Amino acid sequence: AAEAAPQGSAAPGGAAAGGPPPSSGGSGGFWPLTLGLAAAGGYAWYSGSLQQFGVPGPEEVGIAAPKEVDYQEVRAAIAALLDAEDYDDGSYGPLLVRLAWHAAGTYSKADGSGGSNGATMRFEPECSWGANAGLGVARDVLEPIKKKFGAKLSYADLWTLAGCVAIEEMGGPVIPWQPGRADAPDGSKIVEDGRLPDAALGAQHVRDVFYRMGFDDQEIVALSGAHTLGRCHTDRSGFVNPWTNAPTTFSNLYFQDLLNTKWKKKKWAGPTQYEDPTGELMMLPTDMALIWDRKFKRHVSHYAKDEEAFFKDFASAFGKLLALGVPFPDAA
């Protein structure tokens, strides 16, 4: 996640269980989308899935079935808009990862509420949560793609796919992803605020948030590795500066820096955060919790030494996050 907020995004998450081991690499890598859903039976499923939001299917109101979505074309459109010289470190990539994470990170396995399905961040009050400050920029950036493909491409699929493409284009692993999310017609399914991590808290809070979604300690640490991307902003989360010196490159540098750098409390009027000797890099309390907690720290050490293992575990966890709560049809 490219930002963290006090009511917000301390650790980024996600994972697609059961998929093949993902390979690392950017745009040149194999991109394993489950396109069969859109090409064969996808429309019938999409139409039926709208009923969960109390919306009649298009065929029930006399609308012809839309043509299938070319997700390779959607992917190319997302990749084409990532570079932005006038935004942060020259890329919207970290911001799109944060959008995907926050759209999905509200899930609760206890009752199946929340998650990426529905794209409820389009509505109040979710779009104005402190944790989601600045994500209007990400939604606006993707709006031309949504307009191009129209109703056949849901916001929920677009936002999650954008996070996957951004990670791949910034040198990260291929993320397991499949289409099939529907958009809620209003905000009636929005869950209570406070389900996203509070960056100012510690290890128990992090566990409470991620255990609620069904993640274990290893997955929590892997997902936290997304903090290798992006930076914090005082006008959004209140925190400031990037986590690493390469905020638009996906790598295991976050873990190396977290483990090997001497971090000290930043002396300033803002919220508690930690800085390196140069004062140019930072860690949040939830980041520091990963090395202060013995069980978390062993995974940090592993990923600091083995980038390939990190990429594999992150891809699994992030794909899982993006799929939580989505009623995909059973595999044939």
Catalytic residue ranges:
102, 243
d(CA 228, CA 230): 7
Eight-state DSSP code of residue 65: P
Spatial CA neighbour of 31 closest among 66, 68, 74, 67: 74
In contact, 107 and 115? CB cutoff 8 Å: yes
d(CA 313, CA 219): 7
Residue where the block lists tokens 């399914």:
189
Eight-state DSSP code of residue 60: G
d(CA 218, CA 91): 29
d(CA 246, CA 228): 8
* Helix spans in the chain (H): 36-39, 42-49, 71-80, 93-104, 135-149, 155-169, 203-213, 217-224, 253-260, 285-292, 294-305, 307-323
d(CA 232, CA 61): 46
Residue where the block lists tokens 């697609």:
16
How many Å is the Cα radius of gyration of the chain? 19
